């Protein structure tokens, strides 16, 4: 399995990110997303004081240039409302994944507020021992309790109004669904809609709490 790092961008469809982001400098904040009394995800929110915190060994492992790394620099802070919405998204996934969660500790996610347009999921397949997995690090941790070398990274930027290719089946309103945007990016970190090269179809191992298996790869999010 070869080295790969993927940054998947998804346009945010409508306005006013100010409800979710703040310009007041804050240090890293850590929250847990639980379901059924069990912590599934550990969310690290990185703001202005953290620079490119949360990117770990990303630059070293993938030989990214200083310019490449700038896209991971925090340019704002998450507000309490934004943090609450992100936790709700993670808790939704915790409920979905509760029937097949094999990790002995929470899966680490780094959320970084950036100043470029769109949102993105940054995912890796490099393990803690330096080898390359068939799965994303997030899916590997969930399925096999593999130690994560690089956390799942979610970048949240500003919505872009001027791009005509921003198509949506939903009406463009005065705000976007922040929770749905985060849930979308977590799906990418699980391997949904990422690349056909990796064995990242999480549904091959996923059963709900009733023992039913669903093909999540058929769900477009």
pLDDT at position 112: 92
Global confidence as pTM: 0.76
The per-residue pLDDT of the chain, averaged, comes to 75
Q: Cα separation of 73 and 55, whole Å?
A: 9
Cα separation, 202 vs 44, whole angstroms: 23
Q: Which of 83, 99, 84, 43 is nearest to 216 (CA)?
A: 99
Which pLDDT value is given to residue 16? 34
Residue 204: band (very low, low, confident or very high) from pLDDT cuts 50, 70, 90: low
Rounded mean pLDDT, 84-103:
89
Query: How many domains does the chain divide into?
Result: 1
pLDDT at residue 150 above 80? yes
Higher pLDDT, 202 or 75: 75
What are residue 3's phi and psi, to 5 degrees? -70, 135
| Residue 145: how many other CB atoms lie within 10 Å | 12
Tell me if residue 1 falls in helix, strand or coil.
coil
| pLDDT tens-digit readout, 119-146 | 788 878 888 888 888 788 898 898 889 8
Query: 191 or 219, which is more confident?
Result: 191
Tens-digit pLDDT profile for residues 13-51:
333 343 455 545 567 899 999 999 999 999 999 988 888
User: Quick one: average pLDDT of 67-91?
Assistant: 88
- Tell me how far apart the alpha carbons of residues 85 and 82 are, in angstroms, rounded to a whole number: 5
**pLDDT number for residue 161:** 44
Burial degree of 148 (CB within 10 A; 0-12, 13-18, 19+)? buried
- Percent of residues, the chain, with pLDDT higher than 90: 18
Helix (H/G/I), strand (E/B), else coil: 91: helix
User: Residue 119 belongs to what domain range?
Assistant: 5-218
Through-space distance between the first and last CA atoms of the chain, rounded to whole angstroms: 27
Please state, in angstroms and as integers, the Cα–Cα distance from residue 162 to each residue in 8, 111, 192, following that order: 20, 25, 28
Q: Is the pLDDT at 2 greater than 90, yes or no?
A: no
Q: Give the Cα separation of 205 and 90 in Å (integer).
A: 19
184 vs 194, higher pLDDT = 184
Per-residue pLDDT at 118 exceeds 80: no
Residue 113 burial (10 A CB sphere; 0-12, 13-18, 19+): buried
């Amino acid at each position: 399995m070869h080295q790969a790092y993927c940054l998947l961008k998804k346009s945010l469809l409508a306005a006013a990110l100010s409800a979710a982001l703040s310009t007041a400098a804050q240090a890293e904040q850590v929250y847990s997303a639980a379901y059924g009394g069990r912590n599934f995800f550990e969310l690290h929110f990185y703001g202005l004081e953290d620079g490119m915190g949360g990117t770990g060994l990303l630059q070293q492992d993938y030989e990214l240039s200083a310019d490449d790394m700038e896209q991971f620099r925090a340019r704002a802070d998450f507000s309490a409302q934004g943090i609450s919405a992100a936790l709700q998204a993670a808790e939704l996934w915790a409920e979905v994944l509760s029937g097949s969660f094999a990790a002995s500790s929470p899966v680490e996610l780094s959320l970084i507020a950036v100043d470029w347009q769109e949102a993105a999921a940054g995912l890796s397949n490099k393990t803690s021992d330096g080898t390359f997995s068939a799965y994303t690090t997030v899916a590997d941790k969930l399925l096999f309790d593999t130690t994560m070398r690089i956390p799942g990274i979610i970048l949240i930027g500003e919505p872009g109004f001027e791009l005509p290719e921003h198509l949506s089946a939903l009406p463009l309103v005065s705000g976007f669904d922040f929770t749905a945007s985060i849930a979308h990016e977590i799906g990418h970190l699980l391997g949904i809609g990422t690349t056909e090269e990796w064995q990242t179809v999480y549904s091959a191992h996923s059963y709900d709490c009733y023992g039913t298996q669903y093909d999540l790869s058929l769900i477009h999010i």
